[in-house]
Amino acid sequence: MSSHFDVLVIGAGPAGYVAAIRAAQLGLNVACIDEFLGKDGKPALGGTCLNVGCIPSKALLESTKQFHALTHSFKDHGISAGEPTMDVPTMVGRKDKIVKQLTGGIATLFKANKVKSFAGRGKLLSGKRVEIRFHDGATEVVSANHVILAAGSVPIQIPGIPFDGTHIVDNVGALDFTAVPRRFGVIGAGVIGLEMGSVWRRLGSEVTILEALPDFLAACDADISRVAAREYKKQGLDIKLGCKVTAAKVNGDEVQISYTDAVGTEHQLTVDKLLVSVGRRAYTQGLLAEDSGVTLNSRGQIEVDEHCRTSLEGVWAIGDCVRGPMLAHKGSEEGIAVAELIAGKAGHVNLDTVPWVIYTEPEIAWVGKTEKELKDAGIPVRTGSFPFAAIGRAMAMNEAYGQVKVIAHAETDRVLGVHMVGPMVSELIAECVVAMEFQASSEDLARICHAHPTLSEAVHEAALGVDKRAIHRAN
Ligand code: FAD
Ligand code: AMP
């Protein structure tokens, strides 16, 4: 017997599960299909983000940050604690517990909101029908007035360098090492490569990161990436730019990597574990029947308009499987917007104010355009920067490094971008997203009272600095 729903969501990552819950809140009859199986082999909701992405990586980053503080900076506070050790299985076990708690939480939320959950693989057929292939091989066809495709993304493989899950790994493998690799190689100095490189470096791995591009963190404002590169170098992350990996072979318990550097010289590197983190691609394989009516773009993403409508009326697509930044919160916002549009309400996502965060030490966060992007577009700007070195709270935390940079239009003073590197900037960026959403000027930020002593004073001072009137530094 086939079932019919108001809304059927394929994928229960942060895009899909949020869409399902919001649609159910709006009184719609909703089902969500997800195929992910957790480490225990049981269905686990939450997608890449909760299971093998945002959350587990942050759990390991936090554990190793604590360890690193104990071994490196506790002594500055006068604290000594004998010879510290790290028990990797305990650290990974703590991470798994957090993942289980959160994925189980989504199942509870589905129940509370009466979202019907199907554990299996969904395939969009014609006529807004979806075939579900359950994990035991059984199939069922269900239909809906609206289908939301939220299939997420998968890691890109470099041709000839297949993941083996043990020595050459993707994010899944790098989150689950049972011991600290002595030599850890990373291909790709993007967000995932830097975060996972930091985790294992803090526990003592020799980390080498090979990046094809000549510029470091090219998506960041140059003032920010320069500070970050300096700090990473101090930590011992060996980041080699302009290096293209040509081959990697597992040889016994090692991986032998061949790469060419920026001037074309060939090099060899031997590591114990190799993470390939060269980006992710939309996961549309097997998602669409030939006659589904939904089209893909040239990058293999599901083609959508600004409201996440696909080429087929009543079929929507959100999250990593469509254009825009591959970030959990961007997908969740799209999920809410689509659910509200389906329910006849207004819904929209402003891709220009999606914040970015890299959770290394120091953290990096930004919203809006970089100074270079604005200058290249011929937009006149004024900027104000303020260092955490002059912020009392940062000194008290022993993390007085990095800066905040506010970029405003030179004539209208509207804030066009805010870029930060330093302590807890993942939290500080929220204020700037609000400011940009409300079309604030740098003068608005400068006239808002910020608590003392807090890290947020750096945002305040940087905004004052746009008009050359920062108080705690010479302008
Ligand atoms: P996903 O989370 O990928 O979920 C898609 C779900 O759909 C999966 O469960 C998948 O199994 C299921 N699925 C796919 N096809 C089908 C099908 N045909 N039938 C049934 N089920 C299907 N983003 C951040 O914002 N902050 C971070 O700190 C961050 N850290 C990250 C760290 C790592 C190591 C990685 C890998 C990613 C990180 N990301 C981070 C990115 C973030 O995880 C993704 O942007 C986010 O998960 C995308 O959400 P989604 O719902 O679109 O897709
Ligand atoms: P992200 O998209 O943030 O995950 O970053 C992926 C990074 O990998 C980018 O900085 C790319 O330039 C880099 N990259 C892509 N392909 C290669 C390659 N073959 N060798 C080294 N780096 C690469």
Q: What is the pLDDT of residues 160-170, one digit of tens each?
A: 999 999 999 99
Look at residue 135 and tell me whether its pLDDT is greater than 60. Answer: yes
pLDDT for 191-202, tens place per residue? 999 999 999 999
pTM, to two decimals: 0.97
Complete domains list, the chain, with CATH: 4-155+281-352 (3.50.50.60), 168-278 (3.50.50.60), 362-466 (3.30.390.30)
Supply the mean pLDDT for the chain. Answer: 97
Q: What is the 3-state secondary structure (H, E, C) of the chain?
A: CCCEEEEEEECCCCCHHHHHHHHHHCCCCEEEEECCECCCCCECCCHHHHHHCHHHHHHHHHHHHHHHHHHHCHHHHCCCCCCCCCCHHHHHHHHHHHHHHHHHHHHHHHHHCCCEEEEEEEEECHHHEEEEEECCCCEEEEEEEEEEECCCEEECCECCECCCCCCEECHHHHCCCCCCCCEEEEECCCHHHHHHHHHHHHCCCEEEEECCCCCCCCCCCHHHHHHHHHHHHHHCCEEECCCEEEEEEEECCEEEEEEECCCCCEEEEEECEEEECCCEEECCCCCECCCCCCCECCCCCECCCCCCECCCCCEEECHHHCCCCCCHHHHHHHHHHHHHHHCCCCCCCCHHHCCEEECCCCEEEEEECCHHHHHHCCCCEEEEEEEHHHCHHHHHCCCCCCEEEEEEECCCCEEEEEEEEECCHHHHHHHHHHHHHCCCEHHHHHCCCCCCCCCCHHHHHHHHHHCCCCCCCCC
Average pLDDT score over residue span 227-239:
97
Tell me the CA–centroid distance for residue 469 and ligand 2, in Å.
40
pLDDT in tens, 338-351: 999 999 999 999 99
Segment 396-448, tens digit of pLDDT: 999 999 999 999 999 999 999 999 999 999 999 999 999 999 999 999 999 99
Q: What is the pLDDT of residue 11?
A: 98
Is-catalytic flag, 4? Answer: no
pLDDT for residue 474:
87
Looking at the predicted structure, is the pLDDT value of residue 185 above 50? yes
> What pLDDT, in 10s, does the model give residues 289-313?
999 999 999 999 999 999 999 999 9
**For position 2, what pLDDT does the model report?**
58
Q: Give the pLDDT band of residue 1 (cuts 50, 70, 90).
A: very low
**pLDDT the model gives residue 81:** 86
**What value does the mean pLDDT take over residues 26-40?**
98
Which ligand 2 atom sits closest to the C-alpha of 217? 10
Ligand nearest to the CA of 321: 1
Cβ < 6 A, ligand 1 pocket: 10-16, 33-36, 47-49, 53-54, 57, 121-122, 150-153, 171, 192, 283, 287, 319-320, 326-329, 331
The yes-or-no verdict on residue 267 having pLDDT over 90 is yes
Predicted local distance difference test score (pLDDT) of residue 138? 98
Q: Cα of 49 to ligand 1 centre, how many Å?
A: 5
